[in-house]
Amino acid sequence: MCLCAVPVLITELAHPRQRGTVGSLFGSFFFLGAIVSAWATFGTLHILSSWSWQIPTLMQILPAVIQASLIMVVPELPRWLVKMGRNAEAKNFFATYHANGIEDDELALLEYTELDYIRTGPNRKRLFITLMVALFAQWSGNGIVSYCFVPVLQSAGINGGLQIFNWLMVILASLFVDKVGRRKLFLGSSIGMLVTLIAVAICNERFLATGNKSAGYCMILFLFLFNGAYDFAYSPLPTLYTAEIHPFDLRAKEVSISFASAFGFGLFNQYVNPIALEAITWKYYVVFIAIVACQLPIIYFIFPETKGLTVKEVRPPVQRQKASMESVHVAENV
């Protein structure tokens, strides 16, 4: 429930100028939690009692208690407030969080007047983009890389640090979201994954054919680079981007569909990848190389850019009508 609700809340709560960075940082906290979890379980590994698993389990209560104690101070979504007829509260929301409490601020008034916008257009295009983002996030080779990465690192004497590396990469990417734009991050990430995945396949083939340790170490290097390329877009952007491209009445539903689809695609990775990798070894990488190659034209021709736009102004390419850019200029100058 939180995974579906939080991206929608962040999209509305963040200032238009900061929405990309704030929304992307949300994804980075997955790795922060993974870091704490990994080191907590590692620290209790040698306890010779049931406390070895009870301590990490009990630690998970603390974030839930903090969330439950602070949830009452979280504001309600302004679009929901308008839908419920609580217009004054919705107007106050924009003044408080987007205009430093100034109720007659130009940006706050503009965002409030956009709430009654009647949304029409090709929502099937939005659904297609949602499914593609979920598919790319799961079927870009990250599943097969994760499956083989841990034993490779263990055989090389490298442990720990991977989640920290991922976390730092997501934070770095979050700082560029509103400077570079979503499309460029998606494209750059996919190109990086394509190049590194090809290199991983070549190194894996050489290592299996010759047992050359240099090929194995090169494979480790490119596995790290692949993770870095993946983290630059497909860790911070999917939830943010899905929430941005949908109107209010569809946003929560589509974010839920995005997570459900991602988990469904993830089941494939969990059950099929080990069998296929054992059967055809390095050749299985070619499947994901082809998938990543197909991502590039889909992203380039179909994915809309949301940088600098209010949530209302985002349109898939087929719905790009002549729309006023007044709110964009206001958001950039506030």
**Number of Cβ atoms within 10 Å of the Cβ of 150:** 11
Per-residue model confidence as pLDDT tens for the chain (334 residues): 676 677 777 777 777 777 777 777 777 777 788 788 878 888 888 888 888 888 888 888 888 888 888 888 888 877 777 777 787 787 777 777 776 666 666 655 555 555 544 344 457 788 899 999 999 999 998 888 777 766 666 555 555 567 788 888 888 888 888 889 899 999 999 999 999 999 998 988 888 888 888 887 888 889 889 999 999 999 889 988 988 888 766 777 788 888 888 888 888 888 888 888 888 888 889 999 999 999 999 999 999 888 877 666 665 554 544 443 334 343 444 4
CA pair distance 203, 166, nearest whole angstrom: 22
How large a percentage of the chain has pLDDT more than 70?
Answer: 79
Strands (E), 119-164: none
CA pair distance 7, 275, nearest whole angstrom: 35
Residue 169, C-beta contacts closer than 8 angstroms, at least 6 positions apart: 227, 228, 231, 232, 235
Helix or strand holding residue 112 (H, E): helix 106-113
Quick one: tokens of 194? 């394509």
Look up residue 189 and give its amino acid.
S
Are the CB atoms for 201 and 286 separated by under 8 Å?
yes
Are the CB atoms for 89 and 103 separated by under 8 Å?
no
Entry field: residues in the chain: 334
**Number of Cβ atoms within 10 Å of the Cβ of 82:** 18
Superfamily in which the 2-43+118-333 domain is placed by CATH: MFS general substrate transporter like domains (1.20.1250.20)
Tell which residue, 232, 247, 238, has the closest CA to residue 310.
247
**pTM (predicted TM-score):** 0.67
CA pair distance 154, 200, nearest whole angstrom: 17
Average pLDDT value over all residues in the chain: 79
Look up residue 48 and give its amino acid.
L
Look up residue 233 and give its amino acid.
A
Residue 114, C-beta contacts closer than 8 angstroms, at least 6 positions apart: 310, 312, 327
Query: What's the pLDDT at 80?
Result: 75
CA pair distance 219, 278, nearest whole angstrom: 18
CA pair distance 161, 152, nearest whole angstrom: 14
Tell which residue, 254, 204, 237, has the closest CA to residue 306.
237
Look up residue 265 and give its amino acid.
F
Integer CA distances (angstroms), 56 to 36, 37, 40, in order:
9, 7, 6
Integer CA distances (angstroms), 278 to 58, 151, 274, 282, in order:
37, 14, 6, 9
pLDDT in tens, 253-289: 788 888 888 888 888 888 888 888 888 888 889 999 9
Are the CB atoms for 32 and 167 separated by under 8 Å?
yes
Residue 28, C-beta contacts closer than 8 angstroms, at least 6 positions apart: 167, 170, 171, 174, 235, 236
Backbone angles phi, psi at 17, to 5 degrees: -75, -20
Are the CB atoms for 265 and 221 separated by under 8 Å?
no
Written as one string, the DSSP assignment of 162-196 is: HHHHHHHHHHHHHHHHHHH-HHHHHHHHHHHHHHH
